[in-house]
Copies of this chain bind each other. A is one copy, B any other.
C-alpha cells in the first residue's frame, strides 16, 4: 500500500519515505500487533488450506493434481506477501521471514521462462494465456505481484522478488501495447501497480504501459457479464470522459487510483479532473457514513445516488480500502484536507470493521444494520478482503503524514515517531479514545519549516498550544493549522480535539435513513449491538433522544474501548395490532425510556452475532 511519490513531479505532497514512520503504541500499534501475531499467520494457514500455495506448487511442477478454487487465487497470496513485507520492515520476525522466503522461492520455481506467472492459466489452461482478458484476472494478479515485489524490495532491499516481477511486467509490456496485442484486464489493478513499479525501478515502459491500459478501457471492449453491461467494468466511456462512479465498486476505485497515480507522474489535468468528479459523485451521493461504498449485492455495485440501504448494502471491505487508496492519492495530488478526512472515516469504520479484533476472521460484506446471525468468516472462496486488510494494517503508519518543500503535514493522529532526515517528530496520543495530541520536535535543522496539523470537520472548538502558549494559527475545522518557524528540539505542540459524542443526520434524499440519527465520537461511528442493551429490548424497537447528550462509558467485555450511553426509548410494539400497515391516525405507539449503549462500529460482531444498527430511529 506504500506509495513512493518522493519524486512524482505532480504530487503536491509526498508520501513519507519507507520506514520514516514508526508506530510507538496506542490504537494502531495494537491493531498492527494483532495483525502480525495472529492475522498474517492465520492468513498463511488459510492460503495453504484454500490451495493458493498448492496451485503454485502445481505450476512449479512440484506436485501433481488439479487446480483448486477460483482463477484469481494468486492475488490473495500476493497481498499477503505484501503485508508480510511491511511487517518485516517494522520489526524482525524469523518465522514470517522464512514464510516469505519460501513463497518467493515457490514463485521463482513457478514462473515461466518468458516471465509469465499465473497458477490458474499455467495449470488449468495451458497454452491459453490471455484468451479471456474480460474475466481471466491475469493482469489483476500480476498487479498484486508487482505491489508485493515493490513492498518487499523497499522492506528488505533484496532484489529477488522485484526482479521476478519485472520479468513478468516486461513480458506483459512485450505482449500488449501500441503496435502489439490490444487489450486490458477486466479488473483494474495492474495500472496502479505498474506506476508504482515505475517509481521503484525508474523503468518508463511500465508507466507507458499503465497509460496504455487506462486508455484502452472505456470503449466497450468487454463482453456483457450476465445482466451487467459495460458499466460493470467501467468500460462504457474513456477514463477522462465520465463523471459518475458506476458498476463494480472495487474495479471503479482501483481504476481511479491508477488514474491519479498516472496523473502524479504526468500531470495531465484531465486525469485528475475526471478522478475528482467521480470522487465527488462517490462521496456526495454513494457513500455510507462509515466511509464504506457499494449499495448492491447485484454486481457488487454502486447504487443510484442516495440509494444507501443499511441492511442489504454490500460495503465490501475491499471497497472501503479502495476508497482509502483513492483518497490518499487525491491528498497527494492536491494537499486538500477533505481527502485526509474521508481517509480517516474509512480507516476507523468501513475498513476496520472488516477484521475481527483477534485477527482470525474477516467480513467481506459490511452492513450497517444486521437483524442478527451475521458473522465474520475465517476465509472466503473469493478471499480478496482478508489479505487486503492485512496489507493495509501492516502499512498504516505510512498514511500518518506527508512532506513537501515547505515542511511536514500531519493527517492522522497516532502515537508514532516520524524521522525525515535531520528533522524528527514524536506524536503522543491515546486518539481516538481521547483528543489530546502532543507533538514534540525531537530533531531539526536550523532552517524554518512549516508544520501542518489537520483539524477534522467535527472538531469545532479545538485548541492548541506551542510550548504552553496559544498556538498562533487558525484551527479551522476541515483545514490544516499551519505554523512556520525555526523549530527547536523540544518544542511541543499540544492539540486538543473535542471528542464530545455527537448525533449526525443523513441527507434528506437518503430514503433508507429517513428519521434516523447516527452517533459519532471523534473519527468513530458508533452502533448499537443487541447484547449491550437491557434484556428483551429488540433493536428494531429503539429510539434515541436527540435532546439528551450521550455520555462516555465502558464495557468490561471490550477492554480499552470507549462506549457511549445514550438516553432513548423502547417502543412497545406488542401493543400494536399484528399488521404491517395502519391508518395514519392510529394512536401513537406507547414507549418506555431506557438507556442505550453504543460501541464503535469497527468493534461489532466480536461478542456474538446479535443484531446491530448504526442508524438509530429518532424519538
Residues on A lying within 8 angstroms of B by beta carbon are: 280, 283-285, 287, 289, 295-298, 303-312, 369, 371, 458, 502-512, 514-518, 540-541, 546, 571, 573, 576, 578-586, 589, 615, 617
Contacts and interface: CB of A to CB of B under 8 A. Distances in A.
B310 A507 contact: no
Contact of A506 (B306, B580, B617): B580
Contact of A580 (B287, B312, B540, B546): B287
A379 to B, nearest CB: 15
Given A304-B371, A305-B371, A508-B617, 8 more contacts: A284-B579, A307-B311, A503-B585, A508-B571, A508-B589, A511-B540, A517-B584, A518-B581
A180 to B, nearest CB: 38
A541 to B, nearest CB: 7
A274 to B, nearest CB: 18
Provide the main secondary structure of the chain A interface: loop
Contacts of A515: 514-515
A580 B284 contact: yes
Contact of A540 (B309, B509, B540, B579): B509
B617 A285 contact: no
Contacts of A502: 583-584
A458 B310 CA distance: 33
A369 to B, nearest CB: 7
13 contacts: A284-B579, A285-B580, A297-B297, A297-B298, A298-B298, A369-B511, A503-B583, A503-B585, A504-B583, A505-B584, A507-B582, A511-B615, A514-B515
B309 A512 contact: yes
A196 B285 CA distance: 52
Nearest first, the 10 closest Cβ-Cβ pairs linking A and B are A515-B515, A503-B584, A514-B515, A509-B540, A505-B584, A304-B371, A507-B580, A284-B578, A504-B581, A289-B581
Contacts of A584: 502-505, 517, 546
A588 to B, nearest CB: 10
Contacts of A458: 583
A504 B311 contact: no
Contacts of A296: 312
Contacts of A283: 580
A504 B481 CA distance: 52
Contact of A511 (B308, B310, B504, B506): B310
A514 B515 CA distance: 6
Most chain B CB within 10 A, of A311, A369, A504, A581, is at: A581
B509 A541 contact: yes
Contact of A541 (B289, B369, B508, B517): B508
Nearest to A591: B508
Contacts of A514: 514-516, 617
A335 to B, nearest CB: 20
Contacts of A306: 371, 540, 580
Contacts of A504: 581-584
A283 B581 CA distance: 10
Given A309-B309, A369-B511, A505 B298 contact: no
Nearest to A505: B584
Contacts of A298: 297-298
A275 B583 CA distance: 28
A128 to B, nearest CB: 26
Contact of A289 (B304, B506, B508, B580): B580
A302 to B, nearest CB: 13
Most chain B CB within 10 A, of A295, A304, A518, is at: A304
A309 B312 contact: yes
Contacts of A585: 503
Nearest to A618: B584
A583 B280 CA distance: 20
A388 to B, nearest CB: 21
A589 B507 CA distance: 10
A564 to B, nearest CB: 14
A512 to B, nearest CB: 6
A15 B595 CA distance: 55
A608 to B, nearest CB: 18
A518 B583 CA distance: 9
A505 B585 CA distance: 8
Contacts of A580: 283-285, 287, 289, 306, 308, 506-507, 510
A241 to B, nearest CB: 21
A539 B162 CA distance: 55
A115 B311 CA distance: 49
Contacts of A581: 289, 504-507, 518
A297 B371 CA distance: 18
Given A296-B312, A307-B312, A576 B505 contact: no
B312 A511 contact: no
Nearest to A519: B584
Nearest to A458: B583
A617 B312 CA distance: 21
A541 B507 CA distance: 10
Nearest to A517: B584
Nearest to A283: B580
